[in-house]
Homo-oligomer: A and B are copies of this chain.
């Protein structure tokens, strides 16, 4: 930008006939002692307004050695719509606390050294903190030059003393299955994801624990894994529905909403109605899917916005005691697990007893 010369503190000082010290003190509203009389204050204010003065943050940052800036580094953004609420809440929280967000996607950055460079750039820009966000819940190898104060968002670092914020997957899955149990279902299937990712392991655990809680013996027949896509839902769901009538599940918990979408399709092909013949609970509350299915899908909402906000607050060392921070697996690390609320819609029916 051709940078039309903007007025500086000095300009204001000259116009108001005071020193730059005074201008700085007045404009920053410092109150150490009563100091500056109202008349002077007023004069300075007027001069600043007349000159349309705006402080130069760069100069201020250099002097104060802090930049009111946070690096939001994210990975695998491109493939998921979950990025939006996470980033948007993070940005809002930053703004509320007078900070700006540098957003860097590592999607196209291949190789550990390039990753380092990207983080280095942020470091050189004197960011006051880092949030490292993943777009789906996973464990990652933290880039070596990330400071210890970095907050991991929707992921955990395999090593280091970092703070992490993740969804309470296991509890959420248990809650999802409990919705089905409470509706009287006992033959409850689990449409699992074949990928051995954190979420699938944890959700399976939650499924099993809820069953045990209700004294239902998990039936391995009722557990089918396939790809976590609509097509995977069609095939995996189909397998579950093609079980002999006496063992076939009356309800199915799906690893995610996309698989649930496929399961709807599989049910329809077999003339089964949802929720009349089959109750379904999904996971993700995915925009444009869960609520738009016919009937609308009961599912678990991932707390992306809440996690995004908390990450910033943590990075800014604000008070985050409103959530519980547990000790993590690696030395010095700590973890906050956020609840996933049930979103009740119309895909679950009471089982006639």
A residues engaging B (CB < 8 A)? 1, 3, 54-59, 61-62, 65-67, 69, 72, 77-78, 80-81, 83-85, 87-88, 91-92, 95, 100-105, 107-108, 118, 120-126, 128-129, 147, 149, 229-231, 258, 261, 265, 286-289, 292, 294
Across-interface contacts of A85 in B (CB, < 8 A): 78
Given contacts A1-B149, A95-B104, A125-B57, contact A78 B67 (CB under 8 A): no
**Apart from the given pairs A77-B88, A102-B102, A230-B288, 13 other A-B contacts in the complex at a CB distance below 8 Å:** A1-B128, A1-B129, A1-B149, A54-B120, A56-B62, A56-B126, A58-B126, A62-B62, A92-B105, A100-B104, A101-B102, A258-B292, A288-B289
- The contact of A102 among B61, B100, B128, B261, by CB within 8 Å, is B100
- The contact of A88 among B72, B107, B121, B292, by CB within 8 Å, is B107
Across-interface contacts of A59 in B (CB, < 8 A): 62
The quantity of this chain's copies bound in the complex is 2
Q: Are A67 and B58 in contact (CB under 8 A)?
A: yes
Q: Are A103 and B80 in contact (CB under 8 A)?
A: no
Across-interface contacts of A58 in B (CB, < 8 A): 58, 61-62, 67, 125-126
Across-interface contacts of A118 in B (CB, < 8 A): 95
Q: Are A54 and B124 in contact (CB under 8 A)?
A: yes
**Considering the chains assembled together, what is the distance between the CA atoms of A34 and B135 in angstroms?**
49
Across-interface contacts of A3 in B (CB, < 8 A): 65-66
Q: Which of A103, A107, A294 has the most CB of B within 10 A?
A: A103
Across-interface contacts of A104 in B (CB, < 8 A): 91, 95, 100-101
**Considering the chains assembled together, what is the distance between the CA atoms of A114 and B304 in angstroms?**
25
- The chain B residue with its CB closest to the CB of A128 is B1
Given contacts A57-B125, A128-B1, A289-B289, contact A88 B105 (CB under 8 A): yes
The smallest beta-carbon distance between A8 and chain B, in angstroms, is: 11
- The contact of A286 among B55, B72, B123, B288, by CB within 8 Å, is B288
The smallest beta-carbon distance between A93 and chain B, in angstroms, is: 10
- The contact of A122 among B61, B66, B100, B149, by CB within 8 Å, is B100
Across-interface contacts of A108 in B (CB, < 8 A): 92
Q: Are B258 and A288 in contact (CB under 8 A)?
A: yes
**Considering the chains assembled together, what is the distance between the CA atoms of A292 and B264 in angstroms?**
13
Could you list 6 A-B pairs, sorted by A, with CB under 8 Å?
A3-B66, A57-B121, A62-B62, A81-B84, A81-B288, A103-B103
Q: Are A77 and B81 in contact (CB under 8 A)?
A: no
- The chain B residue with its CB closest to the CB of A234 is B294
Across-interface contacts of A101 in B (CB, < 8 A): 102-104
Across-interface contacts of A122 in B (CB, < 8 A): 100
The smallest beta-carbon distance between A116 and chain B, in angstroms, is: 12
Q: Are B147 and A1 in contact (CB under 8 A)?
A: yes
Across-interface contacts of A103 in B (CB, < 8 A): 72, 87, 91, 101-103
